Amino acid sequence: MLGHYVSVALRNVRTSPFTSAVNVVTLAVGLVCFVTAYAAGTFWSSAEQRFRKVDDIHVLTVSIKSRDGSGFGTRASNFTYAPDVAAEALKSDYPAIAKIARAVTIDRKTMVANGSNAMRLFSAAVDPEFLDIFDLPFVAGDARSALSSPRSVVLTRESATRLFGVDDPIGKTLVIGNAVDATVTGVIDAIAEPSQFGRSANAQLPFELLASRDVYDAIRPAPFGLPAGASLPPGAGWFMIGTIIYLYLPPGGELSAESLTRQLSDFGARHIPAQMLRNQDYTFGLLPVREMLGGNARDFFGTGLSFTSVLLVLGGLVLGVACVNYANLATARAARRVREIGVRKALGASPAQIATQNLFEAAALTLAALVVALVVFALAQPLVKDLVGADLGATFFSKLRIWPALIALVLGVTLAAGAYPAFVLSRVRPVSAIAVAQARIGSPLFSMLLVGAQFAIASFLLIALTVITLQNSEMRRNALSAIADPLVVIENPTSQTKVAVATLRERLSAVPQVRAVTEVMATPWEFFAITSVTSSPDPMSPQHSTAMQQVGFDFFDVFNVPLLAGRVFDHEHAEDIPGTGPPGGLGLQRPPRGASDAQNAGEPPKPQNIVVDRAFVTALGLGTPEEAVDKLVYRPPPPAALAAAPPPQPPMRIIGVVEDRSFSFFKRPTETAGAMYSLQADLGITVARVRAADLDKGLAGIDAAWKELAPNVALSRRFLDEIFDRAYASYVRINHLFSTLSVMAFAISVAGLFGMAIFVAGRRRREIGVRKTLGGTTTQMVALLLTGFSKPVLVANVIAWPAGYLAARQYLNQFPESIPIGPWPFVASVVITVAIACLAVLGQTVRAARTTPAEVLRNE
């Protein structure tokens, strides 16, 4: 029987090679999408498997949610970075935790030097217990004690080769951050992918150098403007969220992950200062370390789904289009096989045997399509890496469990694609089938629904693609179009380079091609800060969250932010220059320089001058930009833990109002009151505006000025465009992902519609002949056929619109500045899908419409 099925299947392929080829190609396209999504899920779900203790390692997470339900809490759901001080609190509260280790990024481009050989490496600092929790692949040094000694570092083999060549690095000294001498105590091999320590786009800690914790403590600048070496005030450490805290909870231990998760429900309330809990809830939890890489627990743009789930859904949609296409074409092709089916049934074939034969053919074509899809998947790894940010090929084919999954996929696609054609063919009656050479089988309405389903999915993807493209283009335009000249960002903090900010500003300003120089606390689009302000000194007055930017002189000139009212910071107003102090809200701000002893003794401190944007003025109800100038705003009272003997808390005077300008892709809280800018000294990042016409000379001048100031320190500079593109990369990948899926879905739909046009046009030639005999013209016949093909496409668009709108709204809700959803994405969807559908069938339609009556009626 099997041989019979094979021979019949091969004969059907030979008699209908075009249809068979279309089915194989379209199924292959759908399978490529689904296999890629499945491979991504497999990649992320198998993360960290090289570590023996992976099933017992967890990461402390924190979720922050505003009491009024604003959007900021959603963005910080299950955040895998926690306050550094939480580690000590965990040790104190839960001594049964077997091991706790902190990991914090020193710098993605830490200056590391071996004599004259200097380079920049991604460096992280960890506690010694880190090496107990993760069995790193050591090739030199003691795997257990390599980071137990002060000022010790572990290098990757690649980094060690770059720094020391073929020499043995163990015991040799490196200078970290141009400030700390450290000894190399270990070398490790590359960590096998997939891993959070690997090189995929989602890797949180792709370190090239691991340092003992004291190296980080010696290099990092004093927080909140405190003097170097000063300890944090009690409670202030909970403001500093940037440490990954790993917990090892072995099986059979005193404390399980489930038990600890329950006990963490009140962990925040016991330790976090009361003032922080006034407006926001902090919830701590645990995340299995294997889920760190893929973000399986993270919310993909507010959908409630992980990125893996979204990929599988999108890949499944495209594969669904391919299955629908197969079902439609197979049903249409079956019309030519009704006489064969009738003869087989007359000779004793049962409906089950007929259905089995057709399912066998579907399985054979699906298997052929899978082979094609796997070859394409392997060859398209550069494109796949661009779409999902990971090299999936090596890990996908190395997993033994993949092959049972692929077999299940073939069976699933066979049933999804072949069940309907097999069903309608098995119901063919022998008498009616033998009487005609070709008949229309199956439900015409169902066939139209299948075509509509294909184009509904394609239309949904097109609407989403249009909105994503428009939003991403608007983000780029708003971020960069207002800045005519290139901005060069120099990330060499004084604490490491020993070059004073004022000295660097002076030397860069002397370069003829440099138009202006400023400083910022953090690079735009990569980091942002939120603080709280009130419009009244009353401690119970409503608080407003606001984005906080700490900047240097000439910031608004360098970044071309228009002034609406008042003035900006300048050297002519000494009162603009503040004393060193913390960001707003901590109660650690020092009085301005020049304050009298009487003021220091208890008189109200002088206000700190700030510049705010238009949104800030509107949110706090300060009137027009002109009316807001010279008005005071206030910081909320300090946390109770800091309020024992707080220094005077100065109000803030608005000296100028500028136009709104966002330097973050992150969605701010719904109550966020725009942004405020404060002048700060000794900021770590310098930005120079260079004349575009003389960019090369300007860069050469900057490099020369730096070499004179710090000849032994490599200059780290980037264009602002590069910083934007790096932060923007995830949105670009999403854009490319939807573009690729949309193209594939349309390709399948068009191929299917073209195949359908061949059968429909052939079937309706007799009808066309009769109509033309009765006076119909060729143009009328073309319009008749195109209308028939366009109807299901139009209906599909109407069905896709609500889903497309909801998906677009969900995407746009994540941005501080989003485009309005107008009618154009939906109009464009209709126009494009109908136009593509008409072009796909136009050739066959015109050929059928030009049929002469004599050709089809002469045998009547």
- Residues 249-267: pLDDT tens digits? 998 888 899 999 999 988 9
Rounded Cα–Cα distance for residues 583 and 528 (Å) = 12
- Out of 163-167, 226-230, 399-403, the most confident range is 163-167
pLDDT at 307 over 90: no
499 in a structural domain: yes
Q: How many domains, the chain? A: 4
418 in a structural domain: yes
Tokens at 492, concatenated: 């060499």
Band of pLDDT at residue 577, cut at 50, 70 and 90 = confident
Predicted pLDDT at 71: 39
One domain for residues 837 and 695: no
Rounded Cα–Cα distance for residues 807 and 157 (Å) = 45
Predicted pLDDT at 616: 92
311 in a structural domain: no
Strands 608-613 and 563-566: unpaired
The predicted model gives 178-192 an average pLDDT of: 92
Query: Of 7-11, 65-69, 514-518, which range is least confident?
Result: 65-69
One domain for residues 428 and 576: no
105 in a structural domain: yes
Cβ count within 10 A of residue 468: 22
One domain for residues 518 and 658: yes
pLDDT at 702 over 70: yes
Tokens at 245, concatenated: 């805290």
Query: Of 137-141, 362-366, 497-501, which range is least confident?
Result: 497-501
> 3-class SS at 720?
helix
Contact (CB, 8 A) for 496 and 219: yes
Q: Each residue of 826-842: b (16+ CB within 10 Å) or e?
A: beebbebbbebbbebbb
Residue 14 Cα to chain centre, angstroms: 47
pLDDT at 457 over 90: no
User: What are the tens digits of pLDDT across the range 361-383?
Assistant: 888 899 999 999 999 988 888 88
Query: Of 162-171, 178-187, 439-448, 597-606, which range is least confident?
Result: 597-606
Cβ count within 10 A of residue 195: 26
Amino acid at residue number 755: G
Rounded Cα–Cα distance for residues 628 and 556 (Å) = 19
Cβ burial of 661 (10 Å; 0-12, 13-18, 19+) is buried
Predicted pLDDT at 612: 95
pLDDT at 200 over 70: yes
The predicted model gives 852-858 an average pLDDT of: 63
One domain for residues 667 and 557: yes
Contact (CB, 8 A) for 109 and 122: yes
Rounded Cα–Cα distance for residues 359 and 357 (Å) = 6
Q: Measured between alpha carbons, how far is residue 856 from residues 247, 418, 437, 438 in Å?
A: 80, 33, 15, 15
- Among 686, 709, 725, the domain-final residue is 725
Rounded Cα–Cα distance for residues 298 and 819 (Å) = 25
User: What are the tens digits of pLDDT across the range 281-302?
Assistant: 788 999 999 888 865 445 565 5
Cβ count within 10 A of residue 96: 12
More confident residue, 71 or 744: 744
pLDDT at 454 over 60: yes
Contact (CB, 8 A) for 387 and 737: yes
Give, rounded to a whole angstrom, the gap between the first and last alpha carbons of the chain.
Answer: 41
Query: What string of H, E and C letters represents the secondary structure of 570-612?
Result: CCCCHHHCCCCCCCCCCCCCCCCCCCCHHHHHCCCCCCEEEEE
Tokens at 109, concatenated: 């481009």
Angle value at C-alpha 212, between 220 and 78, nearest 5 degrees: 70
More confident residue, 722 or 237: 722
One domain for residues 125 and 247: yes
Phi, psi (rounded to 5 degrees) for 41: -65, -40
Bridge partner residues of 547 (DSSP) = 530, 675
Predicted pLDDT at 187: 96
Cβ burial of 265 (10 Å; 0-12, 13-18, 19+) is exposed
One domain for residues 201 and 65: yes
Q: Measured between alpha carbons, how far is residue 598 from residues 57, 128, 510, 645 in Å?
A: 56, 49, 41, 17
Tokens at 456, concatenated: 């509904």
Query: Of 183-197, 354-368, 406-420, 491-505, which range is least confident?
Result: 491-505
* Among candidate residues 287, 290, 395, the one with its CA nearest the CA of residue 55: 290
Predicted pLDDT at 586: 34
Contact (CB, 8 A) for 143 and 258: no
Contact (CB, 8 A) for 688 and 715: no
- Among 725, 751, 766, the domain-final residue is 725
Helix or strand (DSSP H, E) at 403: helix 402-426
Q: Measured between alpha carbons, how far is residue 770 from residues 757, 786, 860 in Å?
A: 20, 18, 11
Predicted pLDDT at 23: 83
pLDDT at 819 over 80: yes
One domain for residues 435 and 457: no
- Out of 131-145, 332-346, 628-642, 816-830, the most confident range is 131-145
Rounded Cα–Cα distance for residues 709 and 499 (Å) = 7
Band of pLDDT at residue 482, cut at 50, 70 and 90 = confident
Band of pLDDT at residue 231, cut at 50, 70 and 90 = low
The predicted model gives 646-660 an average pLDDT of: 82
Contact (CB, 8 A) for 631 and 654: yes
Predicted pLDDT at 397: 75
pLDDT at 497 over 80: no
Rounded Cα–Cα distance for residues 351 and 345 (Å) = 8
User: What are the tens digits of pLDDT across the range 542-554?
Assistant: 778 788 888 999 9
> 3-class SS at 515?
strand
Cβ burial of 415 (10 Å; 0-12, 13-18, 19+) is middle
- The mean pLDDT value of the chain amounts to 80
The predicted model gives 644-673 an average pLDDT of: 71
Rounded Cα–Cα distance for residues 582 and 588 (Å) = 6
* Non-local CB neighbours of 443 within 8 Å, separated by 6+ positions: none
Band of pLDDT at residue 208, cut at 50, 70 and 90 = very high
- Residues in the chain, overall count: 860
299 in a structural domain: no
**What is the DSSP track for 801-814?**
HHHHHHHHHHHHTT
Q: Which domain holds residue 6?
A: 1-44+319-442
Query: Of 329-333, 355-359, 418-422, 561-565, which range is least confident?
Result: 329-333
Cβ burial of 510 (10 Å; 0-12, 13-18, 19+) is exposed
One domain for residues 40 and 98: no
Beta strands in 614-679 (DSSP E): 632-633, 652-658, 675-679
pLDDT at 210 over 80: yes
Amino acid at residue number 740: T
Q: Each residue of 306-329: b (16+ CB within 10 Å) or e?
A: bbbebbbebbbbbbbbbbbbbbbb
What is this structure's pTM? 0.74
Predicted pLDDT at 524: 84
196 in a structural domain: yes
Half-sphere exposure of 627 (CA within 13 A, CB side): 8
User: What are the tens digits of pLDDT across the range 25-73?
Assistant: 889 988 998 988 888 888 888 889 889 999 999 999 988 776 654 433 3
The predicted model gives 653-669 an average pLDDT of: 78
205 in a structural domain: yes
One domain for residues 31 and 116: no
One domain for residues 349 and 497: no
Band of pLDDT at residue 438, cut at 50, 70 and 90 = very low
Helix or strand (DSSP H, E) at 473: helix 444-480
- Among 684, 704, 725, the domain-final residue is 725
313 in a structural domain: no
The C-alpha R_g of the chain, in whole angstroms, comes to 33
* Among candidate residues 664, 858, 671, 843, the one with its CA nearest the CA of residue 761: 843
Cβ count within 10 A of residue 230: 11
One domain for residues 778 and 677: no
Predicted pLDDT at 492: 74
Rounded Cα–Cα distance for residues 487 and 691 (Å) = 9
pLDDT at 665 over 50: yes
One domain for residues 18 and 108: no
More confident residue, 752 or 557: 557
> 3-class SS at 546?
strand
Predicted pLDDT at 5: 64
pLDDT at 527 over 80: no
